[in-house]
Structure 1
Amino acid sequence: MAYINFKEERHSINNQIINRKKNNENIMKYILKNKENVMDYTPCKEYSFKNFEGIEFGKDGILDEADFRIIESKDILCTKFIDCNFKNIKYKDCNFIGCVFENCNFYKGGVIFENCSFIKEGTEKLPSLNNKDNLGCSFYKCNIYSKFMNCDLSLALFEECEIINTSFQLTYMKKCIIKNCELDKINFKDCNLSGFKTLSCYIIDLDFTDEDKTKFDEKTCFDKIIPREKTKQEYEGIYMTYETLSDKFKENNLPDNSSEYYYLGKVFERKSLKKITPKIGSYIYWISCGYGQRALFPVVTSISIMIIYTILYLFIGVKVGDETIRLSIGYLSSTNLKEILSVINEAFNLSVGMFAGVGCINSEPIPRTYMLANTEMLLGILMMGVGVATLIKKAKNN
């Protein structure tokens, strides 16, 4: 019945980003010093080991995919693209190794990557047995409108990007990290998102159109979405995103993760409700059992109910032995602390007895608190049922 600790996840992701950047930088320096020793790739002379700044790639206008410029079977190594524009262009069977895209625009008719790889796993360093470079590509402050088809984006890093109307189909995105980005109209189809993570991203529309299944694992994590506009429409969008994620985690037999995103979704669904009756009902569902996902909520709520009724008994009146006691300013000023604590103990004992339906010992309700006692007993019966149901549900999930 563990829940996702988002604070720990954020700390872990930030450490991963720092280590990944150091790793990429060291490997790229090594490759640049040992270009002739690079194995498995034939560096393209036109595009490899260069810095392109303010260059446009592709065709002008807004074109159909059939009219895109095609770049095919190129190995592009350790190249930086800065302030470049990519438009109406298709990369097919290309390898982008250690490439950095900074302040680039992938726009107009869009950019297609088909059968492309953005990761280098093998190493030229010795000893090479069981050692991997794990060199991924980086995208910084880019505007991306693209289609990735049968690509490998593993270990890719996206930071401060706008990824809009972009599709990932049959694409490996293992250990890919997306940080401080805006994701709008993102579609995944039969992808591998093992170890995939988002951090401080604003997700507007997320969709899965799987024919088989997009793969999640225990390390897959989507960070909480922080609302900006705080409108009904925005809350509904966030709720739908969490619901989609919950379904996908459930499909991958990860019930704890599924439960967490289901809970977050219900919280935003409640915020989107405008009518009083459904909103009150949602609040009750939340307080009583955390939408069936928080096993401790029934315990906390039950204790709170007993404390509230204890206070009501004390100020309305409770019978202790043959004496009826009601806390008032006069009583408090004329009674020592030991006797006051004794009365509070008796009132709490009465409250627990009524809540559990086992009756009372020394204290009992007076006629004016009979209604309180009856309602507390009914609430106790309900909360016991809610608590048992929540525990059973969580146990089944595990």
Structure 2
Amino acid sequence: MAYINFKEEISVAKTQFEKRINNNKRIFENLLDSKDVYTEYIPNERYSFKEHKDLVIGGGHPKKEDEFQEIKDADIICAKFIKCRFSNIKFTNCRFVGCYFEECEFMGGGVVFQDCIFVKKDSDEKPNLNKNDNFSCEFNHCNIYAKFINCTLEYIIFNKSNLKNTNFELSDMSNGMIFDSNLDMIIISDTDLSGVKIVNTYIEDLEFRDKYKSKLDEKTFIDKIKVKKKTRDEYEGIYTVYENIADKFKDNNLTNNFGEYYYLCRKTQRKVLKPIPKIGSTFGLLTCGYGERPVYAVYFSLIVIFLFSILYLFLGIKVDEEIITYSSNISKAFNIRQLLKDYNESLNLSVGMFAGVGLNEAQPSPRSYMLSNIEMLIGVLMMGVGIGALVKKIVR
């Protein structure tokens, strides 16, 4: 009874990703040929409409943020930065229109983007009423150590990139996409993540430090994290990431999404628990999926009923004053017709004991009394667990 179909969400996200890549490429080529942009843009002569290879912007030994070189009020349009290095540089109030960052290194003391815009939403086509290009920037195969403060990052693309020690603060990242990347030590503060898609991305550390609230919506999708090292530290890191994501969905009143990531959190956490807590966690997983999979209660109950029905045959059941047991005479099992008849009585007894509705013709033998009591207790417990989990989901 999952609310997030991960396979379907991934398929939809990949389709959107391909369309956005093609849309950016088409607009980039048209704009590069015409160089016709709105009069509100003043293309920076040094960087706009050019391809830059192995360029060093900033550079030098790592510095403190207040010592960074600053580029201010620049419109950088249709620029390609290939294998460039950015270090100790601060972009303030800059507009990046359709820029590609390919195999770039954001290194040294890092890079700060403050009050910057990375998307051109309006369309140059005529008529353009109610039409948006959503022409965004792309970071492909980059290593990024940066801070984005009060930036407009709508429709941004991070593809096959490593983002480490990177912060997103007071920014609009709605409809952004992060594909096939690695996220490590990422801090998000009061940022709009509506419609964000994070697919096939390894997340080591993701933390929300909100003063107000980061926004997520029903279209926000974060893929499952694939385990690589299978170490205790890795499992602890992954379940903490799931926990942070779940809490943030809950803060946005998206309880169904919360439930999915809470389930993934508890399931991953179980791998690092000590033996006794792990037994309790495993029981919670198998019986109801930590309250998020009510159908598990049905599966578990059926398994218990069929298991006990087999045990009754070996410990003995009483039918018409006759004790039937297969433990002392296993050759009886080769008489299929008689076996099916006896199993029918055993199954009938098991269902009655589990549901607590009493007996029909078959009764437990003296050797089976303890077994029937145990099954009855499990049945009572499972009814409470199953109904509780189901009501919880229905209320949501």
TM bin, normalised by shorter chain, reads: over 0.9
> What secondary structure is seen at the aligned counterpart in 2 of 1:36?
coil
Summarize the alignment of residues 345-364 of structure 1 with structure 2, pairs less than 5 Å apart.
345-364=344-363
Q: Give 1:238's aligned amino acid.
A: I
Compute the displacement of 1:43 (Å). 1.2
Q: Does 1:147 align with 2:147?
A: yes
Contact 1:59 1:69 in 2 (8 A): no
User: What's 2:390 paired with?
Assistant: 391
Q: Could you tell which deviates more after superposition, 362-371 or 320-329?
A: 320-329
Q: Does 1:65 align with 2:65?
A: yes
Compute the displacement of 1:39 (Å). 4.5
Q: Give 1:277's aligned amino acid.
A: I
* Aligned CA-pair RMSD: 1.2
> What secondary structure is seen at the aligned counterpart in 1 of 2:363?
strand
Q: Residue by residue, what CA displacement relative to the aligned partner does 1:9-28 show, whole Å, maximum 9, x if unpaired?
A: 11111111111111111111
Q: Residue by residue, what CA displacement relative to the aligned partner does 1:352-397 show, whole Å, maximum 9, x if unpaired?
A: 000011111111111111110000001111111111221222233x
Q: Give 1:187's aligned amino acid.
A: I
In 1, Cα distance between the equivalents of 2:147 and 2:98?
20
Contact 1:31 1:38 in 2 (8 A): no
User: What's 2:213 paired with?
Assistant: 213
In 1, Cα distance between the equivalents of 2:37 and 2:210?
41
In 2, Cα distance between the equivalents of 1:25 and 1:277?
56
In 2, Cα distance between the equivalents of 1:322 and 1:376?
23
> What secondary structure is seen at the aligned counterpart in 2 of 1:133?
strand
Question: Between the two proteins, what is the percent identity of the paired residues?
Answer: 46
> What secondary structure is seen at the aligned counterpart in 2 of 1:134?
strand
Q: Could you tell which deviates more after superposition, 82-91 or 151-160?
A: 151-160
> What secondary structure is seen at the aligned counterpart in 1 of 2:216?
coil
User: What's 2:272 paired with?
Assistant: 272
Q: Residue by residue, what CA displacement relative to the aligned partner does 1:139-169 show, whole Å, maximum 9, x if unpaired?
A: 0111101000000111111111110001100
In 2, Cα distance between the equivalents of 1:319 and 1:326?
9
Q: Could you tell which deviates more after superposition, 31-40 or 70-79?
A: 31-40
* TM-score normalised by the chain length of structure 2: 0.97
In 2, Cα distance between the equivalents of 1:202 and 1:39?
42
Give the direction of change, closer, same or farther, for the CA distance of 1:359–1:18 in structure 2 (3 Å limit): same
Q: Residue by residue, what CA displacement relative to the aligned partner does 1:245-274 show, whole Å, maximum 9, x if unpaired?
A: 11000000100100000010001110011x
User: What's 1:282 paired with?
Assistant: 281
User: What's 1:49 paired with?
Assistant: 49
Compute the displacement of 1:338 (Å). 3.6
Give the direction of change, closer, same or farther, for the CA distance of 1:48–1:351 in structure 2 (3 Å limit): same
User: What's 1:182 paired with?
Assistant: 182
Q: Give 1:149's aligned amino acid.
A: I
Compute the displacement of 1:37 (Å). 4.6
In 1, Cα distance between the equivalents of 2:159 and 2:104?
12
User: What's 1:246 paired with?
Assistant: 246
Which runs of 5 or more structure 2 residues have no equivalent in the other structure?
Answer: none
Compute the displacement of 1:46 (Å). 1.2
The count of corresponding residues between Structure 1 and Structure 2 is 394
User: What's 1:223 paired with?
Assistant: 223
* TM-score normalised by the chain length of structure 1: 0.96
Q: Residue by residue, what CA displacement relative to the aligned partner does 1:187-207 show, whole Å, maximum 9, x if unpaired?
A: 011000000111111111111
User: What's 2:193 paired with?
Assistant: 193
Summarize the alignment of residues 1-398 of structure 1 with structure 2, pairs less than 5 Å apart.
2-273=2-273, 275-327=274-326, 328-333=329-334, 335=335, 337-396=336-395, 398=396
Q: Give 1:105's aligned amino acid.
A: E
Q: Could you tell which deviates more after superposition, 30-39 or 287-296?
A: 30-39
Q: Give 1:306's aligned amino acid.
A: I
In 2, Cα distance between the equivalents of 1:277 and 1:36?
68
In 2, Cα distance between the equivalents of 1:25 and 1:77?
14
In 2, Cα distance between the equivalents of 1:199 and 1:8?
12
Which runs of 5 or more structure 1 residues have no equivalent in the other structure?
Answer: none
Contact 2:139 2:161 in 1 (8 A): yes
Q: Residue by residue, what CA displacement relative to the aligned partner does 1:95-140 show, whole Å, maximum 9, x if unpaired?
A: 1111000110111011000010110111111120111111111101
**TM superposition outliers: structure 1 runs of 4+ over 4 Å:** none
Contact 2:77 2:97 in 1 (8 A): yes
Contact 2:309 2:346 in 1 (8 A): yes
